[in-house]
Amino acid sequence: MWSVSKLVRREGQGTRIKFGPRSELQVFTPQSPSFPDQLFSCEVLGEIAALEAWRSYWNVVCHAYSVDMDPRADDAAALLALLRLKRRGESWGAIAADVTYEGSASTVFDARFNDALLVSPQAVSVLEEARALVSLWRDENLEFVTVLDDLYPSRLRDIHEMPPFLFYSGELRSADDGMSVVGSRSASRQSQELAAEIARFLIAEDLTVISGLAEGIDAAAHRAALDAGGRTVAFIGTGITKFYPARNADLQREVAERGLLISQFYPDAPPTKQSFPIRNAAMSGYGLATIVVEAGEHSGTRIQARVAGDHGRPVILTSRVVDDTTWGRALVGKPNVYVASTMGEMKEAIRSVRSVPDELQRALGALAAGVA
């Protein structure tokens, strides 16, 4: 006999699926306004009929919630299910890319699981759990977007670590010109003051200040941007409902109220060693460039500097970073890497980086005009 664990539903009811003593497949579903009570049974016909019965049941499961879930929510649930059922060695970014290419998570899910001769009971269970989770997030008024939404930040679509979904609090924009200001949590007072000065200059240039809400350089950059009346975006390494570090809780609330708070993790996810490098990659992809103010030899900031290069994003290093780290010195001379020894050189580098997209747009416009 083969039994399948019952499907978990928000209202605490479940679906029981089993093969009977003569290899018949039986499906029992609870009476529910949004899930019709069905029983598919093949008592004597054996495996072929059992498979057909199972596929019929699958079709019921796939479409049962279409009445009370809009297409966007249903696609979000299919995306979450794909992430839970990812293939060995497959990354979340690869799944996000597949879904983006197809334009539908449900299409990708069906191709992977609904077209099989024997549909996986695990896939049914995971999809149902995902639908319940999306409904729960909506009930809790948690704001989130997936790669399929128009409001999803456009630059994140350019990187191979593209987050499949984002939770956010504040004003999310698809296009948001800004630069990351990052560095050591234990930065010197001089470096924190420099980070604040850089942030104020970015605001004066009508650019968003992006950082990671950590202590030290991050907090100084966020604080200066807010005090200057500008826009700041914080990428956090936890779920959107968490506060880390705890001493920055008030700053986190203020950024969410006056700017934007972003998390690419499940709402209640705690901080982990893996979550911060993942956060740094997304932060790099979101902005036009990464500015490293101060960092140690083994600082997590070096990860963002490295992936920024992989993303084709410019990196601006202060001369202190170059002097203090071997990885900083190794970056000198590489394409799209700037070194600033003074605030004047920093401003020049920022303006140079910012002018590149405008120059490219002008060149493309001239090319299009010439073709026409």
The tokens for 250 are 């008030």
User: What is the predicted pLDDT for the residue at 313?
Assistant: 95
User: What is the predicted pLDDT for the residue at 125?
Assistant: 84
Type of residue numbered 160:
H
User: What is the predicted pLDDT for the residue at 55?
Assistant: 54
The verdict on 137 and 212 lying in the same domain is no
Count of domains for the chain: 2
pTM: 0.79
User: What is the predicted pLDDT for the residue at 305?
Assistant: 94
The verdict on 199 and 326 lying in the same domain is yes
- 369 lies in a domain? no
- Would you call the peptide bond into 245 cis, given omega within 30 degrees of 0 as the criterion? yes
Give yes or no for a contact between 283 and 260, defined as CB atoms under 8 angstroms apart. no
Torsion over CA: 56, 65, 125, 161 (sign): positive
The verdict on 122 and 202 lying in the same domain is no
The pLDDT tens digits along the chain (372 residues) read 222 333 323 223 344 444 444 433 444 444 433 433 333 444 434 444 545 555 555 555 444 444 456 788 999 999 999 999 999 999 999 999 999 999 999 999 988 887 655 566 788 888 889 999 999 999 999 999 999 999 999 999 999 999 999 999 999 999 999 999 999 999 999 999 999 999 999 999 999 999 999 999 999 999 999 999 999 999 999 999 999 999 999 999 999 999 999 999 999 999 998 999 999 999 999 999 999 999 999 888 999 999 999 999 999 999 999 999 999 999 999 999 999 999 999 999 999 999 886 554 455 445 444 544
Left (φ > 0), alpha (ψ -120 to 50) or beta: where does 183 sit?
A: left
Q: Indicate the SS3 state at residue 180.
A: strand
The verdict on 306 and 194 lying in the same domain is yes
- 191 lies in a domain? yes
Q: What is the CATH number of the domain that holds 210?
A: 3.40.50.450
Residue 78: give the domain boundaries.
3-141
Q: CA geometry: angle at 68 spanning 65 and 69, to 5°?
A: 75
The verdict on 246 and 123 lying in the same domain is no
The verdict on 122 and 179 lying in the same domain is no
The verdict on 213 and 114 lying in the same domain is no
